[in-house]
């Protein structure tokens, strides 16, 4: 036939999730995909989301009509205020609703392919090493060459800040696009300090680099949505051109509803510039999916724009992030109690949903194959998969693969 299709390689994160689902072992433990779990190991619908769903079910004004091409405006304007702060003039932000974080990354990348640097169209995009695996696929799909800048120093289990800064200063071309994780870096759980962000921003200014912020974990790093937006807001304050890919998958638990937004904010933006950007993004959206799903955006909009619901949401984020912090402490504590060789302080120093525990790939494979503990081969664990019933088992198995 004229169409010859070889089998695609499996996606590492989703293939792991499928393997976990199919495993009948009673002690199986899911530390793979980044999705919050309750202390009972179950998916958790945020009570505030459930509240809003009930209100929606009884709202006679809601229909299933198409959204406008740019999506639900009240939703993405509320999203812009969440990430940039309440003082932002949303008229100066070029925004659209997207198919969550992945869709925002895709639409942002497509826009930059056409319009940067300096209007000529970008060919290169830089990502940290390591980064969320899907970044490569998303950016390559739109024709980017993906280059990597140093980020994680595996030997010392810390940020390779010198390597990062040196690459940004000396290896990038003026106007290049650089992907930054807004907070709770995936997969390492290690963010730059404020002082380090300030130095990074300085290089962005000098070289007119474009900041491509991926913000999938606002609220998960510190439990405080404002604190987690600090780096993005600092870059705005410094007048750096940027975009933000905003996902509500994790912080509202809306994973499968594909709820997110893309916000482009240029240092010299005007309402007209922002409108032009939104119009191009809407044009791109029309050619790919026509319009984005209404359901999740209505939930997020309602929560973000209703003070009592917002307050409830804020407390539910704190509940999720504090349970994760407890589990970090518990895992580290058990490993230290067992005197597992190595240092484990990085587990509590890392933040957000993930910990990069620093085991070799063969040990990670053993944890999965022999002990039914599902984690990524690069030793990323989703700490949200730990709970008071399984953390001891996980620590004991880590101890075994390290010592036996």
Residues acting as catalytic residues: 132, 214, 250
Dihedral of CA 221/190/353/302: which sign? Answer: positive
d(CA 31, CA 15): 13
Give yes or no for residue 13 binding ligand LMR (CB under 6 A).
yes
User: Are β-strands 259-265 and 242-247 bridged in parallel, bridged antiparallel, or unpaired?
Assistant: antiparallel
Q: Which is nearer to ligand LMR, 152 or 204 (CB)?
A: 152
Minimum Å distance from CB 375 to ligand LMR? 11
CB of 214 to ligand LMR, least distance (A): 10
The SS3 call for residue 356 is: strand
Q: Which residue has the tokens 């998969």?
A: 385
Query: Considering beta carbons, is residue 16 or 398 the nearer one to ligand LMR?
Result: 16
DSSP string, 309-338: HHHHHHHHHHHHHHHHHHHHHHHHHHHHHT
Alpha helices by DSSP H, 171-224: 194-207
Considering beta carbons, is residue 69 or 381 the nearer one to ligand LMR? 381
For 347, other C-beta atoms within 10 Å of its C-beta total 24
34 binds ligand LMR (CB under 6 A): yes
For residue 115, the surrounding DSSP H or E stretch is helix 100-115
For residues 245 and 335, which CB has a smaller minimum distance to ligand LMR in the complex? 245
Neighbours of 362 (CB within 10 A): 10
Residues 291, 296, 301, 302: what is their CA dihedral angle, to the nearest 10 degrees?
140
Residue 388 CB neighbours (<10 A) = 12
Is 148 a binding residue for ligand LMR by CB under 6 A? The answer is no
How many residues bind ligand LMR (CB under 6 A)? The answer is: 6
Q: Smallest distance from the beta carbon of 132 to ligand LMR, in angstroms?
A: 5
Among 39, 134, 269, 305, binds ligand LMR (CB under 6 A): 134
Cβ proximity of 56 and 62 under 8 Å: yes
Taking the complex as a whole, how short is the minimal distance between the CB of residue 60 and ligand LMR, in angstroms?
Answer: 35
Backbone angles phi, psi at 388, to 5 degrees: -65, -20
Q: Is residue 116 at the binding interface for ligand LMR, with CB under 6 A as the rule? A: no
Q: Which residues pair with 179 in a beta bridge?
A: 212
| Residue 12 binds ligand LMR, judged by CB under 6 A | no
CB of 212 to ligand LMR, least distance (A): 16
CB closer to ligand LMR, 100 vs 172: 100
> Per rule CB under 6 A, is residue 186 in the interface with ligand LMR?
yes
Least separation in angstroms between residue 16's CB and ligand LMR is 9
Peptide bond connecting 117 to the previous residue in cis, omega within 30 degrees of 0: yes
Cβ nearer to ligand LMR, comparing 186 with 390: 186
217 belongs to the binding site for ligand LMR (CB under 6 A): no
Instruction: Verify binding: residue 33, ligand LMR, rule CB under 6 A.
Output: yes
Closest to ligand LMR by CB, 41 vs 163, is: 41
Query: CA 216 to CA 131: how far, in whole Å?
Result: 13
From 76, 132, 144, 374, residue interacting with ligand LMR (rule: CB under 6 A): 132
Which residues are registered as beta bridge partners of 243?
Answer: 212, 264
CB of residue 255 vs ligand LMR: minimum separation in angstroms? 8
Q: Give the interface with ligand LMR as residue ranges (CB under 6 A).
A: 13, 33-34, 132, 134, 186
């Amino acid at each position: 036939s004229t169409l010859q299709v070889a089998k695609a390689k499996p996606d590492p994160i989703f293939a792991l999730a499928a393997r976990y689902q199919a495993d009948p072992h009673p002690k199986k433990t899911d530390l793979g995909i980044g999705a919050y779990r309750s202390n009972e190991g179950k998916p958790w619908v945020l009570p505030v989301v459930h509240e809003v769903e009930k209100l929606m079910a009884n709202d006679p004004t809601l229909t299933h009509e198409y959204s406008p091409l740019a999506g639900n405006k009240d939703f993405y304007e509320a999203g812009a205020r969440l990430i940039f702060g309440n003082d932002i003039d949303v008229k100066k932000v070029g925004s659209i609703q997207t198919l969550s974080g992945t869709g925002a990354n895709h639409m942002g990348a497509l826009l930059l392919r056409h319009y940067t640097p300096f209007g000529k169209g970008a060919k290169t995009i830089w990502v940290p090493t390591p980064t969320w695996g899907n970044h490569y696929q998303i950016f390559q799909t739109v024709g980017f060459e993906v280059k990597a800048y140093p980020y994680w120093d595996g030997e010392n289990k810390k940020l390779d800040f010198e390597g990062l800064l040196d690459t940004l200063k000396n290896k990038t071309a003026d106007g290049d696009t650089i992907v930054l994780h807004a907070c709770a870096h995936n997969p390492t759980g290690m963010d730059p300090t404020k002082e380090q962000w300030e130095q990074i921003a300085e290089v962005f200014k000098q070289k007119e680099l474009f900041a491509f912020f991926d913000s999938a974990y606002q609220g998960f790093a510190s439990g405080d949505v404002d604190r987690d937006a600090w780096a993005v807001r600092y870059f705005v304050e410094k007048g750096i051109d940027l975009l933000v890919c905003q996902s509500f998958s994790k912080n509202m638990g809306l994973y499968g509803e594909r709820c997110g937004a893309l916000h482009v904010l240029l240092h010299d933006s005007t309402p007209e510039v922002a409108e032009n950007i939104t119009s191009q993004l809407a044009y791109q959206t029309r050619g790919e999916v026509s319009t984005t799903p209404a359901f999740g955006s209505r939930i997020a909009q309602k929560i973000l724009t209703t003070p009592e619901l917002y307050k409830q949401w804020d407390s539910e984020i704190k509940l999720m992030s504090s349970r994760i912090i407890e589990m970090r402490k518990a895992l580290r504590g058990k490993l230290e109690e067992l005197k597992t060789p190595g240092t484990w302080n990085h587990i509590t120093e890392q933040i957000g949903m993930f910990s990069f525990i620093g085991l070799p790939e063969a040990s990670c494979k053993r944890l999965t194959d022999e002990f039914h503990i599902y984690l990524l081969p690069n030793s990323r664990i989703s700490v949200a998969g730990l709970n008071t019933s399984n953390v001891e088992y996980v620590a004991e198995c880590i101890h075994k693969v390290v010592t036996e």
